[in-house]
Amino acid sequence: MQHNHERVGFGSKIGAILAAAGSAVGLGNIWRFPFETGNHGGAAFILIYLGCVFIFGLPIMIAEFTIGRRSKASTGGAYQALAPGTKWKWVGYLGVLTGFLILGYYSVVAGWTLEYVWQAATGGFAGKSSTEFITMFQEFSQDPLRPLLWLFIFMLLTHFIIVKGVEKGIERSSKVMMPILFILVVLLAICSVTLPGAEKGVEFLLKPDFSKVTPDVFLGAMGQAFFSLSLGMGCLSTYASYFGKDTRLGRTAMSVGLIDTFVAILAGLIMFPAAFAVGIQPDAGPSLVFITLPNVFQQAFGGVPVLAWICSVAFYILLALAALTSTISLHEVSTAFLHEKFHFTRGRAACIITCGCLLIGVASSLALGEWSSYTIGGMNFFDALDFLTAKIMLPVAGVFAAIFVGWVLDRSIVRGEVTNYGALRSAYYPLYIFILRFIAPVGIVLIFMNELGLLG
Ligand code: PHE
């Protein structure tokens, strides 16, 4: 991944795809997707999610790529560069704020993955029953200190990489890491669906029950699509500012979308059969991955303890790394903003962001234990932040990105970016513009109105 400000650009087209995929694939796929699916009734949610990915997600991703590559600026400055002197710059600022807030609570969960690496490595999973895994997670997440320790460590790790600049190491290691994560996820899915009693979980995932579709399901699926694809906060537009002239925007978006969706569906295939097999409710919420997965390792490889040990350690390390490539991309957007806008050195900008996110992180972490009685709209601080950012702020900024590229930006620029200034034929261009101008903004607004009960 490349974060230098000299706009040196990605080495290759595959580098561009991997960087964007590194941002997209993360806790959103393996932690958030399964519990949102569980909370919203399973297969019907997944179908609506897929609709959101293809109808809103991919066109808006191409729109963000267009904004980034054309402006050659990070989100904070991109709208300013393309529409100087207008209020559009506020959409860029909204993205920066959203990324900052997401980083705050995302790092808490990223910290949990480190605790689980530690537990897995030191034999903390061995011989535990499913109820013991539930207690283990509850005691850990409600502890006032331990999660904070891991949160600090994770933030420091992210901070260190951002300050150093993301050297070739990260790009190279993500080229190794992503395929390993992929293989491991496929293997685990196979283990999970072959557990005794797993059929109910597979059914939950594949058999849609439309009676469970409420306005919340639409809002949840749309929020999940934006969150998982890293859309609506300018992460991908910042990355696109490093794209080369011959990178194909449409094809890159398609690849990122497919990789991201594939990992999410596989994560579902790991989680639900395993959860049903050991009698854990699918709507266990944010704790789902941390309770079901250790269980799968024990159940599937319990007979061969070494195998159980290797798989669980490897899985949590990879999960932590996948989270790290996402926290880096989240951190970069705010750091680049402070650096470019207020001319702070990168080091100072990164310090401000790290300290701010730590404060949010501490509050989100305590919200799950000591401070759980403080609620906002019936949600604790952690859930409220997740709701506000994923379900409101990301889609709102997404609508603006669609309107900006669909209606405001000069047509020749929009067509030029999509066709690499005439080098590509683009049979889908009229469809793409139609979606950006009408379908995406109207669809997203309808989902909001539906949620508010305005559609009757
Ligand atoms: N897409 C990342 C994930 O799935 C999270 C993320 C959201 C990263 C928004 C960047 C911007 O984990």
Closest to 419 (Cα-Cα) out of 99, 176, 84, 66: 66
Q: Is residue 3 part of a domain?
A: no
Q: Is residue 95 part of a domain?
A: yes
Alpha-carbon distance 17 to 230, whole Å? 13
Residue pair 125/168 in contact by the 8 Å Cβ criterion: no
* Interface pTM, i.e. ipTM: 0.98
Q: Is residue 7 part of a domain?
A: no
Q: Is residue 147 part of a domain?
A: yes
Phi, psi of 379 (to 5 degrees): -115, 150
The per-residue pLDDT string of the chain (456 residues; one tens digit each, 9 = 90 and over) reads 344 444 556 666 777 787 888 889 999 999 999 999 999 989 999 999 999 999 999 999 999 999 999 999 888 889 999 999 999 999 999 999 999 999 999 999 999 999 999 999 999 988 888 889 989 999 999 999 999 999 999 999 999 888 886 555 556 666 777 788 888 889 888 888 988 888 999 999 999 989 989 999 999 999 999 999 999 998 999 889 888 888 899 999 999 999 999 999 999 998 899 888 877 788 877 888 898 888 877 877 767 788 888 888 988 988 998 899 899 889 989 998 999 889 999 899 999 999 999 999 999 999 999 899 999 989 999 999 999 999 999 999 999 999 999 999 999 999 999 999 988 888 889 999 999 999 999 999 999 998 888 876
The CATH number for 252's domain is: 1.10.4160.10
Q: Is residue 2 part of a domain?
A: no
Question: Quick one: pLDDT at residue 4?
Answer: 43
> Would you tell me how many other CB atoms lie within 10 Å of the CB of residue 246?
9
Strands 375-376 and 379-380, bridge-based pairing: antiparallel
Q: Is the CB of 326 under 6 A from ligand 1?
A: yes
Residue pair 239/44 in contact by the 8 Å Cβ criterion: no
Please give the DSSP secondary-structure letter assigned to residue 73.
Answer: S
Q: Determine which residue's CA is closest to atom 6 belonging to ligand 1.
A: 230
Domain that holds residue 249: 13-451
Mapped onto helix, strand or coil, the DSSP state of residue 2 is: coil
Q: Determine which residue's CA is closest to atom 7 belonging to ligand 1.
A: 230
Q: Is residue 392 part of a domain?
A: yes
Question: Quick one: pLDDT at residue 48?
Answer: 97
- Ligand 1 probe mutation, 227, 235, 333, most atoms within 8 A of CB: 227
Instruction: Give the total number of structural domains in the chain.
Output: 1
Q: Is the CB of 230 under 6 A from ligand 1?
A: yes
Question: Quick one: pLDDT at residue 3?
Answer: 43
Q: Is residue 1 part of a domain?
A: no
Residue pair 183/288 in contact by the 8 Å Cβ criterion: no
Q: Is residue 456 part of a domain?
A: no
Q: Which residues contact 90 (CB under 8 A, 6 or more apart)?
A: 79
104-139 as b/e, with b when 16 or more CB fall inside 10 Å? bbbbbbbbbbbbbbebbeeeebbebebeebbebbee
Alpha-carbon distance 401 to 231, whole Å? 10
